[in-house]
Structure 1
Amino acid sequence: MKIAVLGGTGLIGSQVVKILQAAGHEAVPLSPSTGVDLLTGQGLSDGLAGAEVVVNLTNSPTFDEASPAFFQTTMDNLLAAAARAGVGHAVILSIVGVDQVPDLDYYRAKTLQEGILTAGPIPYSIVRATQFFEFVEAILSWTADDTTVRLPSTPVQPMAAADVAQAVAEVSMGAPLRGIRNVAGPDVFALDELGRITLEARGDQRTVTTDNTAGMFAAMSGDVLIAGDDAVIAPTAYREWLARRA
């Protein structure tokens, strides 16, 4: 089966392509570096020619008020080209709890992306994942200085990018869900606790201070970022992942 993977050279996409190819599928990575630009539509028709499935892992270059326009344009381009090419299954990667955080531009944009897909002409699947282990250091950097990292106590349930890629690949190889599959890591942490675990593993002497106004995740109330009982729980634990990287 030919599966076109938009964003197929990125962190998740490159791993999805490898998993699909190892399973015997013709997985084709599509990105600006391969001549396909989803924002302009350049190369899209050729990239989707003969594909039975398209996986969209592209992301907005910003998390601000410009992100809704990015997802509107790219999804419109994708669905029009996929319909012309006769693609029978469209898959996107989204975020657990994305529709419960209307105050954040980026989460509104991802909710918009989901809505465009579900209202479109192509049978679809949505994979919602929790935050990636690989992004924890970036999250810490948003509210850090030379001595202190300020983090809210927001509950999170992070997972490894490799496990996200596996979940996306599995859905891509199956029949359209016409719905959502939630995937999450095996452990729930308060974000400030996760920061302390991360700094200790790195030998970083900075102090984590709990500040429930600090950073983007301060806007997340309750268990918005925690997967429900229906979620597929990934196998990789954060402490094990940190130990391997060390």
Structure 2
Amino acid sequence: MSTSIHPSAIVSDKATIGDNVVVGPCSVIEDNVVIGDGCVIESFVHLKSYVRLGVDNHVHSYVCIGGEPQHLAYKNEETWVEIGDSNTLRECVTVNRGTVQGNGRTVLGSHCLLMAYAHVAHDCILGDHVIMANAVNLAGHVEIGNHAVVSGMAAVQQFLRIGEYAFLGGSSGYNLDIPPYMLAHGVRGRLMGPNLIGLRRHGFDTTVCRALKKAYKIIFRSGLPREKALEQALNDYPDVAEVANLVGFMRGTKCGVAPDFHKNGD
């Protein structure tokens, strides 16, 4: 199939359009946009300048990608949105460009699903297979690991990190980092323990799930000082890479890690 651009679409001659691309009615594609092979751009989509899309992305109606950062220090610098392959962006999703104060780019990996009205602010970095449900809002500089899920109407504060395979409950505000493999929920998101159902669905075996469950209890419920608890978790499970990853994430936090809900429940 050859590339198909509807006559009512406005496509800059400075945009680069790949093979087998569909551009629907009334969509606008500005200068310095790159659209990879096999992408579908539905009607009324606006791709602003400095956007790169990989291959086989599906962008639904009324999506706006590449909007200027909602940042008072932004002075019309050239910054980008970079999107990988095989993503689905549903109706009214917005993705803003990066800032020179941050990464200079906002990044979405591959095989992600952003449901209707989700918002990705400047300088966010999302991994692969991330799911953002309806009306999720990410503030600037948020990082989300592979296979993480953010449920509907959740709001994530700027500069936070969400670890891989984490599951964030909906209608919640998150103001502290959420470690990998964890389940979080609450008016101010608090940790509920490992995301065991999600981990099993992704093929994590019983040994790993048990190790993460016990490591969680050591770190968050043993009463030990944090560094001693992290050391004990590593000593108890020296051959479980996921425990090492959890400990490394917690040692690398800059904003602090959400507490266990038993200690700071809503």
Q: Give the TM-score of the pair, scaled to structure 2.
A: 0.24
Return the structure number with greater relative CO, CA threshold 8 A, min gap 6.
1
Which has the greater radius of gyration?
2
Q: Name the structure where helix makes up a greater proportion of residues.
A: 1
